[in-house]
């Protein structure tokens, strides 16, 4: 993440305190990073996806501006932005698959690989459902998956956003991936 972390954090705190000039100075610093996050989120979508990175950034931006969040750090801001983008993609995928959903299930390997093709929207919604179930039993593991895979944060950035060590991120991610793989396995009827 290229902008100076301290500068972004200072501007976030000033914005939170009501300084509109801080917000004006913040937007150009965070816009490119938000576009990078959006591009990463969209890279796993089906070809011909109707949502573009610019539209995703603008929609996320509108939700972030209206959010009542006590911004702590730059990493915290990007972590929230990643979650907002994930929610937007899931909403978009649910709308797309509402009438097109088939009865067959697809086996999905959850790793850093990209899911593309017509089944991508169904995979996104299935993964979101599984992440919601995981969040109900272990919110931190769910957050780690969201930040790494949907948000494009590094292990170090994820650790900073969650106030844990990178080693803990690595360990918890292994457990979360195993749980999600089991949850998303096609079940025999």
Q: What is the pLDDT of residue 100?
A: 52
Nearest to residue 176, comparing CAs of 139, 125, 126?
139
Do 141 and 172 form a contact (C-beta atoms < 8 A)? yes
Q: Residue 48 corresponds to which tokens in the numbers above?
A: 């011909």
Mean pLDDT by 10 residues, the chain (189 residues): 70 84 85 80 64 79 78 79 82 67 44 46 73 90 84 82 91 91 73
Question: Phi first, then psi: what are they for 49, rounded to 5°?
Answer: -55, 135
Residue 134: how many CB atoms within 10 A of its CB?
Answer: 22
Sign of CA dihedral 95, 98, 102, 108: positive
Q: What is the pLDDT of residue 131?
A: 85
């Amino acid at each position: 993440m290229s902008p100076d972390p301290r500068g972004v954090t200072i501007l976030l705190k000033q914005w939170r305190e009501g300084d509109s000039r801080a917000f004006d100075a913040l937007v150009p610093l965070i816009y490119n990073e938000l576009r990078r996050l959006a591009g990463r989120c969209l890279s796993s979508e089906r070809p011909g996806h109707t949502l573009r990175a610019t539209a995703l950034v603008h929609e996320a931006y509108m939700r972030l501006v209206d959010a009542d969040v006590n911004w702590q750090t730059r990493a915290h801001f990007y972590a929230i932005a990643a979650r907002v983008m994930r929610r937007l993609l899931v909403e978009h995928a649910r709308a797309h698959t509402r009438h097109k959903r088939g009865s067959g299930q697809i086996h999905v390997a959850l790793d850093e690989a990209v899911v593309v093709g017509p089944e991508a929207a169904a995979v996104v919604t299935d993964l979101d459902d599984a992440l919601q179930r995981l969040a109900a039993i272990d919110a931190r593991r769910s957050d780690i998956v969201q930040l790494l895979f949907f948000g494009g944060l590094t292990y170090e950035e994820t650790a900073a956003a969650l106030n844990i060590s990178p080693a803990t991120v690595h360990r918890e991610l292994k457990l979360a991936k195993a749980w999600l793989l089991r949850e998303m396995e096609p079940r025999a009827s």
